[in-house]
Structure formats: C-alpha cells, structure tokens
Amino acid sequence: MKSLLSALLLCIGVALRPTGAVAAAAAYVISDDTTGYILESVAPIKKLQVGSLTKIATAMVVLDWAEARSVDLGQMATVPASAANLATPAGIGFQPGDRCSLRELLYAAMMQSDNQAAETLAEHVGRALGSGELAPVDEFVKQMNALARKLGMTRTRFLNAHGLDTLERTLPYSTAEDLAKLTAYAEGHSAFRFYVSQKERKIAYESATGEAAAFLLRNTNQLIGTDDIDGVKTGTTRRAGQCLVISAAKPPDSRQVGERHEITPRRLNIVVLGSEDRFNEASALLRRGWQLYNAWAAAGRPTKGWKGLR
C-alpha cells in the first residue's frame, strides 16, 4: 500500500512540475505552514537579495520584544535623522522629527512597505534593547539575525531593517527556504497575521511641527483577499527583482480517529524570489500547491526521507 501511495505521489508530482511563467522565478518554495514540509521548490537554498521581505523579520523582532516586555504598541516613536535618505515615491513621506505610534509604524512597514517606518522601528526598539555598546539600529539588526539563527535560517544575513541593498558595503541575503521558515514563524502570531491581512488602513501621526497628519495605506500585495490569501509581504529592488511571500488557508481537516477527534490546519506559504511577474507566478504556484497538498494529505502527510523546514 505504501509503495502504491508513493508511486501516486510521484506521478502527480511529475504532472504538476512547473512550466512556463511559473518556472521563471530565480527561486521558490511551496510549504505547509503547520509542519514546514516543502511540497515543491526550485533553488530553495540559493542565496539571493530579498528586498522588503526583510521587513517580516523586522516586524517579528518588534512584536516579540513588545510581547516579552508587555509594551503598549501605542507607544510613540520619533522618526530619526537616518530615515531622511530612505524616502521613496510610494512611501508615506515621514520627516525626521515626526512622531508615530509603534502600531501605526508596523502597519506602514508591512502594508505600504515604508522604509522610513522600518528604520524608525529599528531605532526605537534597538534603543530599548541595547546596552549602549552598539548604535540602536545595529542592535536591532543584531536581534534580527539572532531570530534567524533561532529559526535555523542558516543562509540568511540581515544588514538593515528595511531591505535596501545599495547602502551597505556587503550584500544582505536570504533564501526561499529560510524565508519559508520565517513566514511560518510569523504566521503563528495572530498580531502579525492581522497587520499583513489588511487591504487599506488610515494611520495618524504627528508632524515634527506638532500638527496632526494622516495617510491612507494601501497594501502592496495585490493578491490579498483572492484565493483565500491573507498575507504576507512584497519586496523589490534592482538586485532582488520582484519578490513575494503569500499565505493562504482553507478550513481545517477534521476526522475521527478512534475516540480522538483530530483537527489539522491547512495553510500554505509560497515564497517567490527574483521574479519578473510575481503575482501571476505566486497565484499559479498556490493553485498547484493545493493539488500537491491534497495528494500529500491523502498519503498521510509523510515527511520521512524528505527535508522539512522544522
């Protein structure tokens, strides 16, 4: 029976191999969020630039710190001078001296991918975390890399909180497999899931001159709300190309096993790096991912002999 199921999985896998546009990405991973099992991948451990996907780690360092120290995310942070050279046309337009809550900064960083918001979070939280030996932003990035090590992201190096790769002497990098690990960790936190699932949100902040200001955020992830997709993050630089992580959930599997009722979550995470058409590629990968998932689940979700993410 086991050999028959293995043969079935092999045949399905061959039939569902990537073709055409789906295979154009430099690397991708389709993984089960619950177990970390990789259903399919191309170049999963290739080190690549990942742009603003970096901000997933930024958000989790902030959220982990806030949870560990019972910090109110309504706490205000001041935009530092170092954020002045990080403005982009699509950004909010923060100015040094502006004040914004940590909560609103998280929305800005994750939805609008605002680099200045990420830098402000790093400065503020890094100052709270630091012992004075490192500059606040350096302390924050140190914690980002500590989180990566904790999650087994052995082929990842973060150099800043925003993901720009033209400001450092060396290049930051990660891999599709490492980002799948990070995504599974982040998706395990309800606060993170809420931040990245919003299509629009109006945030308020205080200008450096003390005047009230507001901005309507629009999520850069065009797939939010389609095909059960409720996250996660976009990223783009010239070196990285188009990058995208999406996550989608279906109703959990429920079955009776003897006297025990088993409920198994069903969530897939898709990581796409170095694409020229990230939204269409990710959508196609998700559709095939569910087909692969169903075959894998029918076979009892075997992981022996396969490299998982956890």
Read out DSSP for 209-226?
Answer: TS-EEEEEEE-S-TTTTS
Residue 95 has pLDDT above 90, yes or no: yes
Give pLDDT, residue 304: 66
Nearest CA-CA partner of 153 in 2, 306, 271, 235 = 271
- CATH, residue 147: 3.40.710.10
| Total of domains in the chain | 1
61 and 129 Cβ atoms separated by less than 8 Å: no
Q: Which has the minimum average pLDDT: 84-88, 202-206, 223-227?
A: 84-88
DSSP 23: G
Q: What is the mean pLDDT of residues 288-307?
A: 83
Polymer length of the chain: 310
The arithmetic mean of pLDDT across residues 216-228, rounded, is 97
- Confidence at 258, pLDDT banded by 50, 70, 90: confident
The DSSP 8-state label assigned to residue 80 in this structure reads P
Q: What is the mean pLDDT of residues 75-101?
A: 94
Judge whether 1 lies within some domain.
Answer: no
Q: Is residue 304 domain-resident?
A: no
Cβ(255)–Cβ(32) below 8 Å: no
The stretch 240-252 carries a mean pLDDT of 96
Residue 261 maps to a domain: yes
Residue 2 belongs to some domain of the structure? no
Q: Which domain holds residue 123?
A: 16-298
Helix intervals (H) in the chain: 2-15, 54-68, 102-111, 115-129, 136-150, 176-187, 190-197, 278-298
> Can you give the pLDDT at residue 2?
43
Question: In 3-state terms, what secondary structure has residue 27?
Answer: strand
Q: Is residue 87 assigned to a domain?
A: yes
How many Å apart are CA 134 and CA 137, to the nearest integer? 8
Residue 305 covered by a domain: no
Question: In the predicted model, what is the mean pLDDT of the chain?
Answer: 90
Between 130 and 235, the higher pLDDT residue: 235
- Please indicate, yes or no, if residue 31 is contained in any of the structural domains: yes
Judge whether 107 and 217 are in contact, CB under 8 Å. Answer: yes
Considering the domain boundaries, does residue 227 fall inside one?
yes
Using DSSP, state whether 52 is helix, strand or coil: helix
Q: Which residues contact 44 (CB under 8 A, 6 or more apart)?
A: 27, 28, 29, 38, 175, 176, 177, 180
Instruction: With cut-offs at 50, 70 and 90, classify the pLDDT of residue 23.
Output: low
> Closest by alpha carbon to 201, among 307, 106, 62?
106
Percent of the residues in the chain that have a pLDDT greater than 70, as a whole number: 90
> Among 3-7, 20-24, 161-165, 213-217, where is mean pLDDT lowest?
3-7
pLDDT recorded at residue 169:
86
SS3 37: coil
**Is the separation of the CB atoms in 158 and 128 below 8 Å?**
no
3-state secondary structure of 25: coil
* Structure confidence at residue 167 (pLDDT): 87
Residue listed under structure tokens 């396969």: 306
**Cis, peptide link before residue 71, omega less than 30° from 0:** no
